[in-house]
Structure 1
Amino acid sequence: MDSLYFNGLTGEVVTPIDPVYEEARQEWNRAINKFPLVIVYCERKQDVVNAIRWARKRCVSIRIRSGGHHYEGYSTGDCVLVIDVSRLNALKLDKKRNILTIGAGAKNTEVYDFVGSHGFVFPGGTCPTVGVTGFTLGGGWGFSSRLYGLGCDSLLELELVDYEGRLIMANKYCNSDLFWACRGAGGGNFGVVVSMTFQLPKPTNRSVTIVRFYYVGTTKAKQAHVMNIWQHWQPNLDKRMTLVASFYNAEGEGLGIYATGFFYGSQDEARKILQPFAQVEGFRVTLEESSFLEAVKKVEASYPPSEKFKSTGRFVYRSYSLSELENMAEVVEQPADGSVYSAVSFYALGGVISNVGPEETAFYYRDARYIMGVQSVWTEDAFVEENREWVRERFEYIKSITEGSYVNFPISHLKNYEHEYFGGNARRLNRVNEKYDPFHVFRFPQSLR
């Protein structure tokens, strides 16, 4: 294609003939294999404006990418323009007012380093290279959520470039309907977010205890038993603790149970809280007290640089019978061909998350007890379809016993996806979308319609 075709684009422009294209088109999930027409690394807000205007003039579809962690790869696509905001990653801290302003490309690890070095806490995600913007726009669950809320709960304001290339400010006083919508349903919809402002929790000297527990020698029956303890223990859990528990089947290891997360308090208190799990034979626990920054660094170190996976999540509102729990444990008993790790995981909700009403932000599932996720990880490309199909089949069972899907753990081919992701807020979201993106410029496979 003639290079003149790309005239008008600014920032670093990468096309299929460039040597860096192969690396530039990759998502964190290496199972996503898409070939964009052009990728623009935006270094200024004006680069975003120019990219939107260029795409509209040529009728080229737009995708928006920050950290490149979208589970289904909707931040890229075939023959699309990818607006990559990862270089818009400036950070600014107002220590007097505990206010953080970030560029839309800032990643968890960058924000943690920055605020942590100043003695602050940020309720971000667990994976270091996830873009904070994408995390926040979908609600945003992490190891601080039950104490400090979801990512979107501390958002004060955002700047967004709309379909005409105009810079719009949204907060609770100005474009408040857009601000409401972006707290839970903003990922890829409405426009390209270029900056965000957060209210940080007041700095404290309180240490963080990293909680990790697991069982030596696990069976399907033990997995169901521990799930049962979890479902009775979690609704009244001290809000200072946020955990994810995984019931897994790993290559070379077999069935296992592993839980990890943060407790904003001492090791001794954490040990007492975990007592119900200690009653089950084989229980092992490690508790490590450290600063917030040291704690997130240790979590970050557990992530690989990339992965091939399919993963998704639903909201749990009720207790399950023992036979239902056994069915859940059965989900991982026969993994897909080529799977190196499959799991059903429980991500704790509650705490301050449920202090916000379902309609106060676009994140609707405030009263859920936890998110139930199902995933499979593989290494060989030959097994991609078997693993995707395995997750889809198990998802159908989990869907039958849960309510609503978590938009940050999305799944393709989801019928009535707007209602599944946004519940009772779906209609209002479509009205907001009609107002701010009337020509549906920001379309992707599960965008608002």
Structure 2
Amino acid sequence: MYITNLIIQSGFWITWLLIPIIYELIPAIIGFFSLQVAKQHFKHLKPISKYPYITLIVPVYNSEDSLFNCIKSIETSSYPDEKIKVLIADNQSKDNSYQEYLRARNIFHKLNMQWLSTDQGKAKALNAAIYNSIGKYVIHIDSDGVLQEDALLYIVTDFENDSSIDALTGTILTRISLIKKTKNKFLKFIRENEYMEYCQSFLAGRAVESQGNRLFTMSGAFSAFRRNKLLGTDLYNIETIGEDIDMTFQIRYQLKGRALLCPLAIFYVSPLDNINKLYTQRQRWLRGELETLHLFFENRSIGISTFFKNFVVRRLVMDHTILLLRVIWTFAFVLLILLGYSSNVVITSFVLLYLLYLFILLLNFLSIQSFLKRFSSDRKYYLSKFYILLSLPIYYFACSFIQVIGIINAMTTPAAWTTKNITQEFSDCKKVIEKDWMANRYGKRKRKL
């Protein structure tokens, strides 16, 4: 009897660990060695002697607080001002964004800047600006961030060294200076986790995807294209909030092209304002992914039989099927104890799972710090936050839980750019419970009468 229970309960935690080992640990180990090879790429890049003309698009919506600094980062970049056309594509701002644009235009005289008034929606703003673009490359950045000094130069250098590259996305990191200024300790801790998450996502995850032209999505905050290739697409899809994913798929599947990561091209964005922002942001990303996959693969053959051939199928399994199982299993531990499993076995399973994810993060950490060698301040800060790796698995789980809610919301609520935040969700949930409670009490009274 004892041996039987031991086998059954051991089988539980072995099964618990099997999926993350197959889907996350093994790819992480392969990715670690893949990244070592990827780093050699930068040693063979030839510096460009002639700077091609580029168009830089900045979509704007109520960006008065950040637009000036965004334009300033373009002007102070190492790429020559006379080789840049800046298109500020405003999609119906209701604040003083235009006044900030005028202020920047009066100060940065060398920049060729133009203001475009467009229909509301980021995709519509981008499309209008693309039609007004000139030059060899089209690059777009969000208005709430700033470019690293050499980011544009790194992007163009990658393009010029490899004519087979059709599109590039940069590395997105949160601004360290704003993290350091955060007074609320809990918010600062969340922002530090977010910084490490972005490093892991771009300089490990997307860097590995990029090796086999398997980049799932170019960042909507910072992406670049050969202009002639971009004009060969259907432009940005206005029917989904996942227009960046849709564009990535267009480049790869419609044009049979290559969309890669340029890890040295860094764009710094503002960190999260609060937990509500994290909640709405992750749900919006998840909804955009689901919408785009539905729209783009509606008339294409895609199924579980193509799991080993099509990385998109594997991504779907990881982001949705495994995600649901991860959350369900985590909350099922109470039920497992009630069913007779030893609490020690369950706790041991949690500890082993945590250590497994910690090992994966450590592998990525070692690769990422070498990517940051050219950026001393970023590397110094990154290394100083080594201890954040300890909390990152928990942060990832919290994000997974939000994504599961996002899947449910995506299936039950109409598409919209704005999403209910966690405060609104709790408020709605409270109202439903109160309504059901009152209905139940009323029903009991009626039956008594």
Task: Please give the TM-score of this superposition, normalised by the length of structure 2.
Answer: 0.26
Task: Say which structure is richer in strand.
Answer: 1
Larger radius of gyration: 2
Task: Say which structure is richer in helix.
Answer: 2
Task: Please give the TM-score of this superposition, normalised by the length of structure 1.
Answer: 0.26
